Amino acid sequence: MSATTLTFRQRGTKLLALREASIIVVALVLVIYFSVVNANFLTGPNLQTLSQFIAPSAIIACGEIMLLICGEIDLSVGQIFALAPFIMAFTDHAGLGMFVGFVFAMIVSALVGLINGAITVLLKVPSFVTTLGTLFLINGFTLTVSKGYPINTPGGQTMANIFGAAGYNEFLWAVLIVVIMHVVLRHRRWGLHTIAVGGNLTGATEAGINAARIKIGNFMLTSMLGGITGILEAFRIGSTDPLAGGTNIMFLAVASGVIGGTSLAGGSGTIIGGLIGATVLGVLQDGFTLQGINAFTFDMIIGAAILIAMIANIHVGRLNRGGRS
Amino acid sequence: MSTESLRATDITKSFGNISALSGISLHVNKGEVLGILGDNGAGKSTLMKIITGYHKPTSGQMFINGEAVTLTSVDHARSLGIECVYQDLALVNTLPIYHNMFLNRELRNRFGMLDHGAMRKRAAAALDDIGVQVPSVDDEVAMLSGGQRQAIAIARAVYSNAKILLLDEPLAAMGAREAGLIIDLIQRQQARGDISIIMIMHNYAQTLEIADRIMMMQRGTVTFEGNARDTSVEALLDIVRREYRAMRAAAQ
């Protein structure tokens, strides 16, 4: 008995290590490839551009990964991304200042997450449908309050620099959030209970875990991370645009998580993997842009990358469980 | 002092117009194994859920160690030492054994961080103590056999200081060898003398083998109660047949 179990275990550990390592290898291979074919790839300015591309999807991925682990998804996070900086700007225009504006933006983001979570958990609407509804709702709301026009992001240059405009600052914010969320997932009860709820909802509930609280909390977290990312981007770009973010950033974040090894079936996932997944997508985007490949081709490559990652994800996972599906 | 740990008197439970339990009484002593037999729909699960505090009875009274209690929640029941191992075992496949052992009772350090090292060590020691063998507490539960999973679930309940342990079909879908391991495990817990075990069972012969006392339920009532050594599979089946004949006669 113990002999066969041990073989499964050894094989499992090896493959697990492989799954984590394989995405890092992919990222490294891509970096090496692009730095060989294009001398501009490993230069300061380009790395800065690259870091600014990775940061938003990495931050939002942290939220989506938590949701995917507990068996949910948020399609509306890209719309909060657009709404949050408007709330901050309007509050500032009303004379209450940027800080109060930021707090308001976070409150509204959390509220949207609360609504997403409450409809999903308490009214039992699948989160895919709930957040598809709020996606349109929030998008319409942002377009209405902004009248469809972008505005300048308020606040001085210093503030803009701190919050992402200067150098690698946006990326540093992303790394800080990734580190915090990694600790939450691996070293706090919240993360463990998130895995338990996604791995066995009935079992987790029978063990006394409040699954509704975990799920709603993760919806609120994701919305707030979406709001923070929208604000960081508004500072970096200098304009607050009602059409910023959207489904594009949401899908990049989900893809980052999935490419990084998070299971769409729930119950397992890694935050660090999400950062690496975002890096892979960023390197692909940036590298091909330097190569002069157009956006249409890029979408095909992203699509293929997601498919390959998913196929690997499912089949490596099955081998890992000793052949059981 | 009485050695009786749990008594329930005249428990009824209705869901709307449907009566699931109509006046069930039971008791169990320390160091005793009570086997509850009955068909699907007999009300075994409802009774179980009342004892674990999941459902509130429509009427009736429960006593724990001689004191009248009204359970308000699963947590409340648990705080009184009532632990239940459900058929789905409440194990999380994607988590290692040691996290499952401490699910929702995690050990944390003074910074509020999960103390993985302490949980690993104590889970291994607890499994060893209870007599459950696993290759490593770091293994994901998904890699274990049905018997090993059942053993982990029982060990978790015992480790969390269960005084009244409810087992929902602990031998379901298990081969003879694995069932033997679980029966050993249950008998070792019984031998400690301070735990009362209530098992919901389907298999008459296995129940007679493990239980001290048998209670048989049909359609929300108790149709038999007595010592396991004073009865037999044949005698129990006779009671079931008689009940069915009475039921059919009543229906005509």
**Average pLDDT score over chain A:** 88
pLDDT value at residue B216: 92
- The stretch A190-214 carries a mean pLDDT of 93
Residue B250 structure tokens: 């009543």
SS3 (DSSP) at A72: coil
pLDDT value at residue A313: 62
Question: How many whole angstroms separate alpha carbon B23 and alpha carbon A266?
Answer: 43
Q: Where do we find the tokens 């996606």?
A: A135
B92 CB within 8 Å of a chain A CB: yes
Q: Could you tell me what percent of chain A has a pLDDT over 70? A: 89
The reply to whether residue B94 touches residue A188, judged by beta carbons under 8 angstroms, is: no
CA distance to A293, B53, B60, B79, per residue, from B82 (Å): 65, 9, 18, 7
A187 CB within 8 Å of a chain B CB: yes
pLDDT value at residue A88: 96
The reply to whether residue A267 touches residue B94, judged by beta carbons under 8 angstroms, is: yes
Query: How many residues in chain A?
Result: 325
Distance from CA of B250 to the nearest CA of A (A): 39
Question: How many whole angstroms separate alpha carbon A153 and alpha carbon B223?
Answer: 77
Q: Which chain A residues touch B140 with a CB distance below 8 Å? A: 12
- Residue B128 domain flag: no
Question: Mutate which of B94, B99, B114, B152 to test chain A, going by most A C-beta atoms within 10 A?
Answer: B94
CATH code (residue B11)? 3.40.50.300
Interface A:B, Cβ pairs < 8 A:
83
Question: How many whole angstroms separate alpha carbon B217 and alpha carbon B228?
Answer: 15
- How many degrees, rounded to 5, is the angle at CA A36 between CA A32 and CA A41? 80
B228 CB within 8 Å of a chain A CB: no
Residue B107 DSSP one-character state:
-
pLDDT value at residue A317: 54
Q: Which chain A residues touch B103 with a CB distance below 8 Å? A: 196, 204, 207, 209
- Residue B146 domain flag: no
- Residue B208 domain flag: yes
The reply to whether residue A321 touches residue B89, judged by beta carbons under 8 angstroms, is: no
The reply to whether residue A183 touches residue B78, judged by beta carbons under 8 angstroms, is: no
| pLDDT range class, residue A320, cuts 50, 70, 90 | low
Question: How many whole angstroms separate alpha carbon B214 and alpha carbon B217?
Answer: 10
CB B172 within 8 A of CB B86: no
B161 CB within 8 Å of a chain A CB: no
**HEC per residue, B183-195:** HHHHHHHHHCCCC
The reply to whether residue A5 touches residue B143, judged by beta carbons under 8 angstroms, is: yes
Question: How many whole angstroms separate alpha carbon B184 and alpha carbon B26?
Answer: 25
- Residue B219 domain flag: yes
- How many degrees, rounded to 5, is the angle at CA B24 between CA B71 and CA A206? 40
| pLDDT tens, position by position, A145-182 | 999 999 999 988 888 888 888 889 999 999 999 999 99
Q: Which residue of A has its CA nearest to B88?
A: A203
Residue B251 DSSP one-character state:
H
| pLDDT tens, position by position, A21-77 | 777 888 888 899 999 999 999 999 999 999 999 999 999 999 999 999 999 999 999
- Residue B149 domain flag: no
- Residue B116 domain flag: no
The reply to whether residue B92 touches residue A199, judged by beta carbons under 8 angstroms, is: yes
Strand partners, B68: B63
pLDDT value at residue A311: 76
Chain A, 206-225: which have a CB under 8 Å from a chain B CB? Answer: 206-209
| pLDDT range class, residue A6, cuts 50, 70, 90 | very low
Q: Which chain A residues touch B144 with a CB distance below 8 Å? A: 5
Question: How many whole angstroms separate alpha carbon A245 and alpha carbon A56?
Answer: 9
The reply to whether residue A268 touches residue B78, judged by beta carbons under 8 angstroms, is: no
Closest CB from B89, B94, B139 relative to A195: B94
Q: Which chain B residues touch A195 with a CB distance below 8 Å? A: 92, 94-95
Half-sphere exposure of B115 (CA within 13 A, CB side): 13
Q: Domains in chain B: how many in total?
A: 1
Residue-by-residue DSSP string for A137-191: HHHHHHHHHHTT--EE--S-HHHHIIIIISTTHHHHHHHHHHHHHHHHHHHSHHH
Residue-by-residue DSSP string for B15-68: ETTEEEEEEEEEEEETT-EEEEEE-TTSSHHHHHHHHTTSS--SEEEEEETTEE
Per the structure, the complete domain to which residue B18 belongs is given by 4-94+156-251
- For chain A, the structural domain boundaries read 50-318
pLDDT value at residue B252: 78
A253: left (phi over 0), alpha (psi -120 to 50) or beta: alpha
- Residue B22 domain flag: yes
B88 CB within 8 Å of a chain A CB: yes
pLDDT value at residue A2: 40
CB A196 within 8 A of CB B105: no
Q: Is pLDDT at A9 greater than 80 in this prediction? A: no
pLDDT value at residue B27: 93
| pLDDT tens, position by position, A251-303 | 999 999 988 889 888 999 999 999 999 999 999 888 888 888 877 887 888 78
If we measure between CA atoms, which residue out of B5, B27, B9, B6 comes closest to residue B225? Answer: B27
- Residue B18 domain flag: yes
Q: Is the dihedral of CA A70, A72, A77, A78 positive or negative?
A: positive
pLDDT value at residue B1: 42
Closest CB from A2, A204, A209 relative to B135: A2
If we measure between CA atoms, which residue out of A179, A180, A158 comes closest to residue A169? Answer: A158
pLDDT in tens, chain B (252 residues): 458 899 999 999 999 888 899 999 999 999 999 999 988 888 898 999 999 998 999 999 999 999 999 999 888 998 999 999 987 778 999 999 999 999 988 999 999 999 999 999 999 998 988 888 888 999 999 888 888 888 899 888 888 888 999 999 888 878 888 888 889 889 988 888 889 999 999 889 889 999 999 999 988 889 899 998 898 899 999 988 888 888 888 887
Q: Which chain A residues touch B108 with a CB distance below 8 Å? A: 189
Q: Is the dihedral of CA B189, B193, B196, B198 positive or negative?
A: positive
Q: Is pLDDT at A318 greater than 80 in this prediction? A: no
Closest CB from B74, B90, B133 relative to A203: B90
B80 CB burial (10 A radius; 0-12, 13-18, 19+): middle
Residue A33 structure tokens: 């490839």
The reply to whether residue B92 touches residue A6, judged by beta carbons under 8 angstroms, is: no
Distance from CA of A220 to the nearest CA of B (A): 22
Q: Is the dihedral of CA A137, A140, A145, A151 positive or negative?
A: positive
pLDDT value at residue A265: 87
pLDDT value at residue B88: 72
Global ipTM: 0.81
Distance from CA of A28 to the nearest CA of B (A): 29
